[in-house]
C-alpha cells in the first residue's frame, strides 16, 4: 500500500493519504520521520536514515581522511550536533569499547583517535559529512542539504534536544545520560 501525496496549487498545501491538508514540506517530512521517537534507538535509526539519504545525493565528495578538518583549534570550526547526531556518535564511540570521551588538550576533535583517525567514521556527524575540507571537495551548499538539516532538527525537537551543541559537549552529555 503506497502513500499518496497530492500537491495543492500555489498554496504549497498537500493531502497525504486522507490526512488533513498540511504544508508540503511538513507532509514530506512525515513520510520519512517517525511520528514519536520512543527511545534512543529510534533517534539513531532516523539519523542514520538521513546520513544514508545524504550519501545518495549526486554531490561529488572524496574524503581522504586527512583529518585536517578535525583540528578545530587550527580551523576555527567545530561541528555542532543535534540530539540524534550525538546519540549516533555516542553509539559509534561505545562500539569502540569506550564509555567516555578522551581528554584533548591540542584543540582537535575528541573523537580523533591516538593514531590520528576518526574513531567513529561510519557514525560521524552531519557536519563532518558536509564539512568545509578542500581536499574532500569543499563545503556542501546549504541549499543542497537544508531538507536534511531540518529533519535532524525535527529529531532533536521530538527527542527533547536543546538544539545543536558543540560536538564534545553534545556527545559527553549523551554518554552521561546513558550512565544514569
Residue 13: band (very low, low, confident or very high) from pLDDT cuts 50, 70, 90: very low
Q: Nearest-CA neighbor of 165 among 127, 120, 132?
A: 127
Q: Look at 6-20, 102-116, 157-171 and tell me which has the smallest mean pLDDT.
A: 6-20
Mean pLDDT of the chain: 79
Residues 72-81: b if buried by 16+ CB within 10 A, e if exposed: beeeeeebbb
Asked whether residue 2 carries a pLDDT value surpassing 60, the answer given is: no
**pLDDT by residue (tens digit) across 111-161?**
999 888 999 999 999 988 887 676 666 667 788 889 999 999 999 999 888
Average pLDDT estimate for 9-16: 36
Taking the C-alpha atoms of residue 116 and residue 136, their distance in angstroms, rounded to an integer, is 17
DSSP string, 74-112: HH----EE-HHHHHHHHHHHHHTT-SSPPP-SSSS-TTB
> Which pLDDT score is estimated for 137?
65
The model's pTM is 0.76
What are the tens digits of pLDDT across the range 56-89?
Answer: 887 766 677 778 889 999 888 899 999 999 999 9
Domain boundaries, the chain: 1-32, 35-179
Amino acid at each position: 500500500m503506497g502513500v499518496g501525496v497530492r500537491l495543492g496549487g500555489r498554496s504549497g498545501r498537500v493531502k497525504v493519504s486522507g490526512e488533513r491538508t498540511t504544508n508540503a514540506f511538513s507532509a514530506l517530512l512525515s513520510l520519512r520521520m517517525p511520528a514519536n521517537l520512543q527511545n534512543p534507538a529510534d533517534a539513531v535509526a532516523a539519523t542514520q536514515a538521513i546520513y544514508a539519504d545524504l550519501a545518495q545525493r549526486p554531490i561529488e565528495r572524496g574524503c581522504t581522511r586527512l583529518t585536517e578538518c578535525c583540528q578545530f583549534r587550527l580551523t576555527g570550526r567545530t561541528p555542532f550536533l543535534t540530539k540524534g547526531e550525538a546519540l549516533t556518535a555516542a553509539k559509534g564511540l561505545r562500539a569502540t569499547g569506550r564509555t567516555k570521551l578522551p581528554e584533548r588538550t591540542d584543540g582537535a576533535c575528541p573523537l580523533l583517535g591516538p593514531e590520528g583517525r576518526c574513531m567513529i567514521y561510519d557514525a560521524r556527524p552531519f557536519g563532518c559529512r558536509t564539512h568545509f575540507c578542500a581536499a574532500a571537495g569543499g563545503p556542501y551548499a546549504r541549499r543542497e542539504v537544508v531538507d536534511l538539516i531540518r529533519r535532524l532538527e525535527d529529531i532533536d525537537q521530538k527527542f527533547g534536544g536543546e538544539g545543536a551543541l558543540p560536538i564534545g559537549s553534545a556527545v559527553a552529555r549523551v554518554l552521561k545520560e546513558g550512565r544514569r
